Structure 1
Amino acid sequence: MASVHVPLNRIGIGVALVWFVGVLAIGPTGDLSSPASRMLAIFGAAVVLWITEAIPLSATSILVILAEILLVSDQALVSIDDFEGRPYADYFATLAHPVLMLFLGGFVLAECAAKYRLDRNLAGVLLRPFGTSPKAIVAGLMAITAVLSMFMSNTATTAAMMAVVLPVAASLDPADRVRTGLILSIPIAANIGGLGTPVGSPPNAIALGRLADEGIRVDFVRWMGLAVPIVLIVLAAAWFLIVRRYPAQATSIDVRIGGSFDRSREAVILYVTFAATILGWVSEPLHGVPSAVIGFLPVVVLLATKVFGVDDLKRINWHVLWLVGGGIALGLGVSDTGLDDWLVGLVDWGSLSTVLLATTLAVVALVMSTIISNSATANLVVPIGVSLATSAAVDLDPLLAGVIIALSCSLAMALPISTPPNAIAYASGHVETKDLAVVGAVVGVIGLVLVLYVAPPIWEAVGLL
């Protein structure tokens, strides 16, 4: 008899439906209240759909928002006695959360930079001081990629830098291992650089959104103060590993990229807006204007001046914004219904030391992000981790919990499927799974040790926590 192959997406949808309907049918039991049981049905279904990717990740996010409106908001189809749900408009509003506006500004700047070749021209200018030494070229590529990925999406940065590196790699001897090192350095540096700023990667935004809901505001510079030192150390370790593992046969590499900067009216407006936005972000403590407001300014300016058109707007990664919005909505629902308290109560967290608890959260985030989207992982782990930290059961700073989880998610880069930058490098044909597995795993472990055991005491000593 022939075996029947059931696609994973059908299995995921089936399991999610069974969980959702089953939990709703069982209803509240023991310490699980009626609002929390409804939220548990939503949360469990979201876990299954995000892990299996049975439907697009962003589709799961907006499904979460709709389910929360219909089940636990003030417009729930069936009301719950003694529970006044959050206004349904608040769940819709997560799709325009300030953190998403901050990300939108970063996406618009990234699209414009690619459109007017600002990214490649900047790379060409910044690479010149590194000369022609293979080790120096790898260092330069990683430094530039990391810096760009702090203010542009990791995916956009990787795509731009791969366009720079691939012709250079193709000109080298096929037997020269530095070819692999050059290409591998781009996604690794992009992943690491994404740790550095709130707009660097979606997990950062998800953590900031959840912390904001708890009344903990982290400005742009404070996040950089927490993360940039880690970026520098991990980046240096990654460079050392790559140049040792992929030594060059060639004595020099000629990298000629970029060209003359576009001097059209539109390009000049972009240059000024780009510089002003970054200056506004890093000077936030001086002027007090929220980074989300500053991030929205380039959207308005570039659209109004026609530097960024309607067709360009279509290329924005709206699905990423919706994915983050769904994660923020999930955090609201988990907190409002008391599901977080119930989940926290399932384990005697108080018996764990603060270090062991933080390590558990970080390892779970790192392992999950290695095999599924780091954004999906952050959506699932951040709400629980921050809620756990705000409970009286444990002695863990909520800000520390959020930062550790977000950074751990972005440190997962050991497989081609772990991050979009990895997938882009793997698709080039010059990087194999084993290359990513070795370098990504070592870099991830180094970063995890820094985030968990080295950085927190320093953060506390200098007043960042």
Structure 2
Amino acid sequence: MPSATLVRRLGLPLAALALVVPLLVDVPGLDEPGERMLGIFLMAIVLFVTEAIPLVATAVVIILLEVLTLSEQALVPLGEPATSARDVWASLADPVIILFLGGFLIADGAAKYALDRNLAALILTPFKGSARSALLALMLMTAVLSMFMSNTATTATMFAVLLPVLSSLPTLAARTGFALAVPLAANVGGIGTPVGSPPNALALAALIQRDERVSFVEWMMAAVPLALLLLVVGWLFLSWRYVPGRTALDLDLQVKFKRTPPALVFYATAALTVLLWLSEPLHGIPSTTVGFLPVVVLLATQVMTGDDLRALQWPVLWLVAGGIALGNGVGASGLDEWLVGLVDWGVLPGALLLLTLAGLAWGLSNVISNSATANLLIPIALPLALTVDQDLVTVALVVALSCSLAMMLPISTPPNAIAYATGTVQTPQMVVTGLVVGVLGVLLAVLVMPLWWRVLGIG
């Protein structure tokens, strides 16, 4: 068994200290549920960053600690529970988990029936001689899909195509670059339309409540240029860091689709699922509900079996559940309001307020869900904008985009968790890539994009 690094050896005692200190020290302005959740929150950050224990272990520790400290089953009872044990356990069956389940089953079915290799052959045929060109094509395709369907569904679908490509690349570095490219492109592409990411929809809803409206096309005009710029920057960075210029793709590009009845049923089911994901704005069926369709159809028709189901990436599902539980606990305990209240926003100049809100949105979204962060900050950011004479639309756009650009950790977004599950990406590599693209994106959203929005007459 390999020896632990110094960081990992220090991780456990630091995490224990982070968990206990808020329980022993009276935190000004924070009541008991918030203090308990602050300890869990700080512990989770330490464990996720140091990986002193596996990430999935941290996720399940979070869930158990919330049950034992915040619910009616708390070992030391609260006067009034911050949440219920049922709600905490429900994170293990959150709709996002169901979406993951369907995506993973499609991905495994694509491998079982060789659909992934055939799709890869069709997509990458023009780029057989250049891995860098193939990387750019892959990122653009992922980003476009992510503008109109769930980032998670896009990533799960694209990894079904990417897995045979990973195995064909000559170096581990090149495989890492390709694996990082998909979640990066999915996260960045999600900012491009109102339906591309939950923070976008939350921002639009908050604006409508204040009689400010941004149309679908206006949102795209505002956000797509930023998305394209970040995609190019991400591609250049990944190419420079992981994919040498002369790297070639050694693929068997012969297309041989299976035509057995089970294979045909799988093709039809997978195509219908992806079509429903793509057309969600038309029919209104949530992507999470659509994600359960292939589970039912493929198991009922015995195209996929119980053995296939057992082979899915269950640790990733539990990892995502831990992130959901962490975000819910922060909100239920009142820790979210306390964190925002640490700064007297009213005394900040307008530009500094915008930069602070963007930084806070980006920072929190790296450790809790983007949706939870947007739910927390957008209702607070818009009233703050009025107090310092900032434009409401500009503030809403900046906060929403900053939430979606948080992609430093496997826990930051479901696409990151899927990439981490391939085994070709380590947390430090994801941190560096997330810093390069995320920080640049936040700075552009705060300092440059408002000028473009004013030219367009938005905000």
Length-normalised TM-score, structure 2: 0.71
Q: Aligned pair 1:313/2:309, yes or no?
A: yes
2:12 maps to which residue?
A: 13
**Structure 2 SS opposite 1:55:** coil
Deviation at 1:95, TM superposition (A): 0.9
Which AA in structure 1 matches 2:58?
T
Q: Report what 1:378 is aligned to.
A: 367
CA contact (8 A) 1:281 1:294 kept: yes
Q: Which moved more, 1:8-17 or 1:145-154?
A: 145-154
* 2:288 is aligned with 1:289: no
- Work out whether 1:355 is the aligned partner of 2:354: yes
Displacement after TM superposition at 1:401 (Å): 3.3
Give 1:45's match in structure 2, choosing from 33, 43, 46: 43
| Alignment of 1:391 onto 2:380 | yes
Displacement of 1:337 in angstroms is 1.6
Partner of 1:343: 339
Contact 1:75 1:88 in 2 (8 A): yes
The unaligned stretches of length 5 or more in structure 2 are: 191-195, 209-215, 386-391, 411-415
Q: Does 1:424 find its partner at 2:421?
A: no
Closer/same/farther in 2, CA of residues 457 and 229 from structure 1, 3 Å limit: same
Cα gap change, 1:421 to 1:66, in 2 (>3 Å): closer
Tell whether 2:63 aligns with 1:91.
no
Q: CA deviation at 1:160?
A: 2.4
User: What corresponds to 2:294 in structure 1?
Assistant: 298
Contact kept, 8 Å, 2:99 with 2:288, in 1: the verdict is: yes
The whole-number CA distance in structure 2 between the counterparts of 1:330 and 1:86 is 12
Deviation, 1:30, is 3.2
Alignment-mate amino acid for residue 341 of structure 1: E
Q: Equivalent residue for 2:265?
A: 269
What residue in structure 1 maps to residue 213 of structure 2?
none
2:166 matched to 1:162?
Answer: yes
CA deviation string 1:246-269 (max 9, x = no partner): 88679x988642430111222211
Q: Cα RMSD between the aligned structures?
A: 4.7
Cα distance, 1:315 vs structure 2: 2.7
Deviation at 1:84, TM superposition (A): 3.9
Q: Write the distance in 2 (CA, Å) between the matches of 1:116 and 1:131.
A: 23
- Tell me, in whole angstroms, the C-alpha distance in 1 between the residues paired with 2:135 and 2:78: 60
Residue 98 of structure 1: how far off its partner (Å)? 1.0
Q: 1:266 and 1:457 mapped to 2: Cα distance?
A: 55
Return the offset for 1:183. 5.9
- The CA deviation string for residues 37-84 of structure 1, in whole angstroms up to 9 with x for no partner, is 111222222222222111111211221111111111122233223x24
- The 1-side partners of 2:36 and 2:451 are apart by 40
- The change in CA–CA distance for 1:410 and 1:113 in structure 2 (over 3 A counts) is farther
The one-character-per-residue Cα deviations of 1:342-363 (angstroms, maximum 9, x if unpaired) are: 2222223344444312442366
Q: C-alpha distance in 2, partners of 1:253/1:29?
A: 56
- Contact 1:388–1:394 (CA under 8 A) maintained in structure 2: no
**What CA distance in whole angstroms lies between the structure 1 residues aligned with 2:270 and 2:452?**
32
Q: Secondary structure at the match of 1:378?
A: coil
Show CA shifts across 1:267-295 (max 9, x none): 21121111111111121122121111001
Partner of 2:68: 70
Letter in 2 for 1:91: V
Contact 2:15 2:42 in 1 (8 A): yes
Corresponding residue to 1:186 among 178, 182, 190: 178
Q: For residue 163 of structure 1, report the CA deviation from its aligned partner.
A: 2.5
Instruction: Letter of the 2:272 partner, please give it.
Output: A
Residue pair 2:12, 2:52 contacting (<8 A) in 1 also: yes
When residues 163 and 231 of structure 1 are mapped into structure 2, their CA distance, relative to the original with a 3 A threshold, is farther
CA distance 1:464–1:57, shift in 2 (3 Å): farther
User: SS in structure 1 opposite 2:106?
Assistant: helix
- SS of the equivalent of 1:424 reads coil
Which has the larger displacement, 13-22 or 333-342?
Answer: 13-22
The alpha-carbon distance between structure 1 residues 248 and 62, as it changes in their structure 2 partners (threshold 3 A), is closer
1:391 aligns to what SS in structure 2?
helix
1:101 matched to 2:98: yes
User: Is contact 1:210–1:328 with CA below 8 Å preserved after alignment?
Assistant: no
Structure-2 residue corresponding to 1:368:
none
Q: Amino acid of the residue matched to residue 108 of structure 2?
A: E
Q: How far off its partner does 1:241 sit?
A: 7.0
Confirm or deny: 8 A CA contact 1:102 1:295 kept in the other structure: yes
Aligned residues: 410
SS in 2 for 1:379: coil
- Counterpart of 2:389 in structure 1 is none
Structure 1 position 188, deviation (Å): 5.0
CA distance in structure 1 between the aligned counterparts of 2:9 and 2:239, rounded to whole angstroms = 44
Q: Is the 8 A contact 2:130 2:246 kept in 1?
A: no
Q: What per-residue deviation string (whole Å, max 9, x for no partner) do you get for residues 110-141 of structure 1?
A: 11112222122112112335586787556545
